[in-house]
Amino acid sequence: MMDTLKASLKLLSLILWIGLWYLPVWLAKKWGKIRWRDGMVRFCYAGILFIIGIRLRITGCLEKIRPLLLVTNHLSYLDICVLGVAAPVRFAPKSEIAAWPIVGRICRVCDAIFIDRRPEKIKEMTGAVQAVLGRGELVCLFPEGTTGNGLHLLPFKSGFFSLAEEKIDGRELTVQPAAIIYTRIRRLPIDTTQWPLIAWYGDMELFPHLWRLLKMGSINAELVFLPPVTASQCGDRKQLASYCHQAIAEAGRNK
């Protein structure tokens, strides 16, 4: 009963918090105050993590070189807030999300790059992301192409790394892997039976999953920035994808 009450209060707080910030963020974008918009969005992300009970630790440093592509593992909708708190990131969600009620609007006001992930659309995706990277903005891709179950890191789709094989405004693209790691629930290590409570994957429905998450209590998470690399250092996009996959998987095993 107490967990249900706490979850209800968290859900109400989330609705009010996101609603409070939507209009100022929308106005900042409309008036071209992008730095203001980005600052407010990051503050909003921090509030969401606080309300849900996510205790985030960030290790390593975000690379300062631009153009920079950030690639990470993907477990949950929580990942967006974890990454968004750390840096003014432009996300590249699948194109279907643009039509989602509420979520689609929020993505648009944050200038998300909607991506059609079909193989025949890879060139179109590459052009859209390159244009943003060329402006010096930080883009984050989830090369697994979907969310995982928390137990195993899915293979990385090497097509996402084709971006790194071409120069952007005469500059080589730097790729930085980062690992998102959820370590504890209510200060106790997460066991294999608890991963479906955090990881959102397969045909799980969003609201029932979020409701269970809000009832869990505090969650410890860590964002680990790993050493950056370029395609020329690895050899080609397939080797680059392999390097990033191995680095992220190893960071997860060490926690």
Chain segment 205-235, per-residue pLDDT in tens: 999 999 999 998 899 999 999 999 999 999 8
Q: What is the dihedral of CA 180, 73, 178, 94, to 10 degrees?
A: -110
Residue 1 has pLDDT above 80, yes or no: no
101 versus 249: the higher-pLDDT residue is 249
* Residue 102: per-residue pLDDT: 80
Q: Write b or e for each residue in 8-29: b if 16 or more Cβ atoms lie within 10 A of its Cβ, otherwise e.
A: eebbebbeeebeebbeebeebb
Identify the CA nearest to 76 among candidates 198, 184, 207.
Answer: 198
pTM (two decimals): 0.93
* Residue 38: per-residue pLDDT: 95
Residue that is written with structure tokens 């992008």 in the block: 34
Confidence class for position 255, pLDDT limits 50, 70, 90: low
Which residues lie across from 175 on neighbouring strands? Answer: 69, 229
β pairing state of 138-141 and 89-91:
parallel
**Residue 128 token pair:** 């859209």
Residue 135 has pLDDT above 80, yes or no: yes
Identify the CA nearest to 55 among candidates 216, 199, 228, 175.
Answer: 216
- Per-residue pLDDT, averaged over 121-134, amounts to 82
pLDDT digits (tens, 9 = 90+) for 164-201: 888 888 899 999 999 999 999 998 999 989 999 999 99
User: Mean pLDDT of all residues in the chain?
Assistant: 91
Strands (E), 186-227: 188-189, 219-225
Which residues lie across from 72 on neighbouring strands? Answer: 178
CB 113 within 8 A of CB 139: yes
DSSP string across 118-133: SGGGHHHHHHHHHHHH
Confidence class for position 123, pLDDT limits 50, 70, 90: confident
- Per-residue pLDDT, averaged over 51-57, amounts to 97
